[in-house]
Amino acid sequence: MKNSNKKYVVILGDGMADYPIDELGGKTPLEVAEKPNIDALCAKGELGLVKTVPAGMKPGSDVANLAVLGYSPARYYSGRSPLEALSIGIDLKDTDIAIRCNLVTLSDDEPYENKVMLDYSAGEISSAEAKELIEYVNANLGNDVLSFYNGVSYRHCLVRHNSETGTEFTPPHDISDRRITVYLPKGLYGEEMLSLMKKSYDLLKDHPVNVARVKAGKNPANSIWLWGEGTRPALSPFEDVYGLKGAVISAVDLIKGIGIGAKMKVIEVEGACGTYETNFAGKAESAVKALLEDGCDYVYVHMEAPDECGHQGDLKHKILSVELIDRVVVQYIVEKLREAKVDFSILVAPDHPTPIKLKTHTSDPVPYVLYRSYDEKDNAFKSMTEKNAKASGIYYDDSCDLTAKFIKED
């Protein structure tokens, strides 16, 4: 049985795991980074491998973070857009379909179907400009069935009420500089969704916001682009499943959305931005405050930085990200919990690898460290690395089993 005085912390280094890198003499960033605090937990805890991306699913951060939080993606994953919708405050009904609505830049001259996807982010348009455009689109195309909601920069949401999934969409970032002809929505609601996109072009192309953007040499947000549909995830509240008051700390929309969906406390940290320049100290302080002052039993501290560096192939800063997580986040949290003399368990893990040489996510199992302050071990493995985790012979094929062990088995 769980003891309600115990505290649980997940330190999630997004994309932290990697492959051997020639430049590092065949070592990985985790092997090279100086991380004495994580390695100390490893030496007195358990090191193993865990599969966070179920076979047949894509290794997205949405899928993998659900898994580490203890929600089986095979059962609970219902699309990325609904998670983002929750994070921008949309109260999705069970019968609503959430669809990602990008503001994009299409070429001018051709008929709509022959246009080219010039920029899937419309020059990373500002949220203020985007709000004006999305509100204008909603005033003209919204109705009882369709509602457009503005989000952040080029990332917005269309909700289709009392509806169902079944439309084939294409992510706009997959078709940069290509003609959109064969990538237009198809299937159920395909025609209706295409008609919205076409009408949005007529509404947006000469909108004052875009006229000013073109004048300033920026890409106009001259069309919406719909993709990534899904339904509200039916996440049981975290407290009902695991008996703990949980909190989530992250700079990333979809992780916050998971927290909201699971009825966890979502803590905003000033300066949290998802890169290696993020406010690591602020995240660590917020985590400790949640546990020691605000009555939380479990905190999920998500750090996007290593993943971001992985996508950019930025080896130096990926290593630095791991080192900052170690000496700013892990060290502080462990110190404060020891000072407070509470029994605590810490799980350190990535959600998925983002190997530098691939610049994208993979589905490989990831190393984890599980440490309990009240049950220290003498682990043969003194450092958290991919190789050691494999050599340990400890392997969880389903990350929910690891979460259950982390939280429930004392």
Residues forming the site for Zn ion (CB under 5 A):
307
Q: In angstroms, give the least distance from the CB of 319 to Zn ion.
A: 17
Here the tokens at position 176 are 């940069």
Q: In angstroms, give the least distance from the CB of 343 to Zn ion.
A: 34
* Residue located via tokens 């430049």: 23
Q: Give the nearer residue to Zn ion in terms of CB position, either 16 or 329.
A: 16
Among candidates 119, 98, 384, which has minimal Cα distance to 261? 98
Q: Give the nearer residue to Zn ion in terms of CB position, either 179 or 311.
A: 311
Report helix, strand or coil for 46. strand
Q: Give the nearer residue to Zn ion in terms of CB position, either 308 or 386.
A: 308
Q: Give the nearer residue to Zn ion in terms of CB position, either 307 or 323.
A: 307
Q: In angstroms, give the least distance from the CB of 121 to Zn ion.
A: 16
Question: Are 134 and 148 in contact, with CB atoms under 8 Å apart?
Answer: yes
Q: Give the nearer residue to Zn ion in terms of CB position, either 86 or 254.
A: 254
Question: Are 385 and 28 in contact, with CB atoms under 8 Å apart?
Answer: yes
Question: Are 132 and 121 in contact, with CB atoms under 8 Å apart?
Answer: no
Question: Are 85 and 98 in contact, with CB atoms under 8 Å apart?
Answer: yes
Q: Give the nearer residue to Zn ion in terms of CB position, either 229 or 307.
A: 307
Q: In angstroms, give the least distance from the CB of 324 to Zn ion.
A: 18
Among candidates 163, 189, 162, 193, which has minimal Cα distance to 180? 193
Q: In angstroms, give the least distance from the CB of 172 to Zn ion.
A: 17
Nearest residue to Zn ion, using CB?
A: 307
- Cα-Cα-Cα-Cα torsion 342, 349, 258, 233, nearest 10 degrees, comes to -120
For 47-61, the three-class secondary structure string (H helix, E strand, C coil) is EEEECCCCCCCCCCH
Q: In angstroms, give the least distance from the CB of 307 to Zn ion.
A: 4
Give the chain's count of helices (H) and strands (E). Answer: 16, 15
